[in-house]
Amino acid sequence: MAGAAVSGPLRFEAGGVPYAGAVRLVDIDEDSGAVGAHAQARATRGWAGVAADVRRQPGGALDADVTLTGDAGDEARAALLDAVRERLDAAGPSLADDPVWRRKLALRAALAVGIGVAADLAGAAWDRRRRG
C-alpha cells in the first residue's frame, strides 16, 4: 500500500454539515497486513471536530479510537470512518509491495545504468579522437 495514496486531505459530510481535514498513514505491519492511520477533521461551519486512530485488519475490519469534540455526534464518527475506509480501499496494494515486480524493476534499472555508462564511455572516446 502506498502511503502517498492514503495520506492527504479528507472531506465528508455528516448530518448536513461539511467537514474538512486530513488523513495520514501511520504504520503498515507487513507481517500481519494491518494498516494504521490517523484522521482528523473539523466542521467547516460550527464548533465540531472528530479525530480517530484507525487500524485496518487484513480482513477489512476497522478498529478505531474516535474522539468527538464540540457539537460532533455519532454521524460524524460514522462519516469519518467511512471516508477513511474508502481511502484505504482506493489505495489498495502497491506494485512496489510485490517482490517480483521489484526484482524486474531492479534489473531494468541496472540495465539502464549499464547502457548509460557504456554510452558515456563511447562519447568520451569519440571526443578524445576528435580532439587528438
10-residue mean pLDDT series, the chain (132 residues):
68 92 86 86 91 87 88 90 88 64 81 81 69 66
| pLDDT value, residue 132 | 60
| pLDDT value, residue 51 | 93
**Digit-coded pLDDT (tens) for 70-100:** 988 899 999 999 999 888 888 766 555 667 7
Residue 92 corresponds to which cell in the numbers above?
Answer: 489498495
| pLDDT value, residue 98 | 65
Give CA–CA dist 87/68, Å, rounded: 21
| pLDDT value, residue 5 | 63
| pLDDT value, residue 21 | 93
Cβ atoms within 10 Å of 21's Cβ, excluding its own: 19
Give CA–CA dist 48/31, Å, rounded: 37
Q: What residues have CB less than 8 Å from 20, skipping those under 6 apart? A: 9, 10, 11, 41, 42, 44
Q: How many CA atoms lie within 13 A of 33 on its CB side?
A: 8
Q: Which of 26, 28, 22 is nearest to 83 (CA)?
A: 22
Q: How many CA atoms lie within 13 A of 91 on its CB side?
A: 23
| pLDDT value, residue 96 | 59
Give CA–CA dist 99/57, Å, rounded: 22
Give CA–CA dist 69/49, Å, rounded: 5
| pLDDT value, residue 97 | 62
